[in-house]
Amino acid sequence: MSDDTAGSTQGIPFLKGHGTENDFVIVPDPDGLLDIGPADVARLCDRRAGIGADGLLRVVRSAAHPEAAGMAAEAEWFMDYRNADGSIAEMCGNGSRVFARYLAQAGHAEAGDLAIATRAGVRRVHLAKDGPDGPGEITVDMGRAVLPGPDAIEVAVGARRWPARNVNMGNPHAVAFVDDLDQAGDLLTAPALSPAEAYPTGANVEFVVDRGPAHVAMRVHERGSGETRSCGTGACAVAVAAARRDGADPAVTGRPAAYRVDVAGGRLLITEHPDGRVEMTGPAVIVAHGTLDL
């Protein structure tokens, strides 16, 4: 990891935050001066030898990043998200809420509406005002789900196999409804997906059980990170898949479909609207800040 000051012994500020216990290292780099490579990210996210996180959020002004410069007129800030193994990801739902929380705490945003640039496009965010019980929840417009097919997707863990639905929320997902979440095993390694050509860059895999009307619970293996306590795009994919399974597709019914989605780290509310927009509402907190020793 380096900055533009060769030989500098000055550390780099960082923060740690989480959204429903999906946790992130946050590195402010407004002018895009830091060179953070995959090995750097992996070291920082290592839970024994580093800070520990499911991923890294680099906070860069859109105009200062080549992948986001075209979005600068709509969104001042770009969320440069990396998985825990250092690989680049298109989008992170929980990360976008934590990103917005950081911007608010750093004085870059106020309660109300905010636009954030991501590799999956510009995402609209609403920060509720803080109340007596703590920080307000954050709602992210996650865009529209794409159901690319094919219909005959399968997910396998060991000898067990389940049909799954292919849902893309700016990143790829395979959603499988199961009888018991324990059937997913330890999820340390990625479940097998078939046909493989449906997911040329891999996928996040969600295992889902019903908890009640419009209420489900899930476990997730995140591509590049392993099993995590929560996945925002995954919760959205689960709600979209559940609405189709339940005959509640908003494009057909003309009514929003709202699902409570329980994750290991808490609960998210996912609402899909008749125009296809998917909104995610949940908490986000900053828990620590410090300086990286270079």
Q: What amino acid positions are annotated as catalytic residues?
A: 92, 231
> Can you tell me whether residue 120 is helix, strand or coil?
coil
* Distance (Å, whole) CA 80 – CA 83: 10
222: part of which helix (H) or strand (E)? strand 215-222
CA proximity to 78, closest of 97, 63, 62: 62
What amino acid is encoded at 33 in this protein? L
Distances (CA, A) of 229 to 39, 190, 222: 23, 15, 10
- Say which residue the tokens 């859109």 belong to: 62
For residue 257, what are the CA distances in angstroms to 137, 188, 248?
20, 32, 6
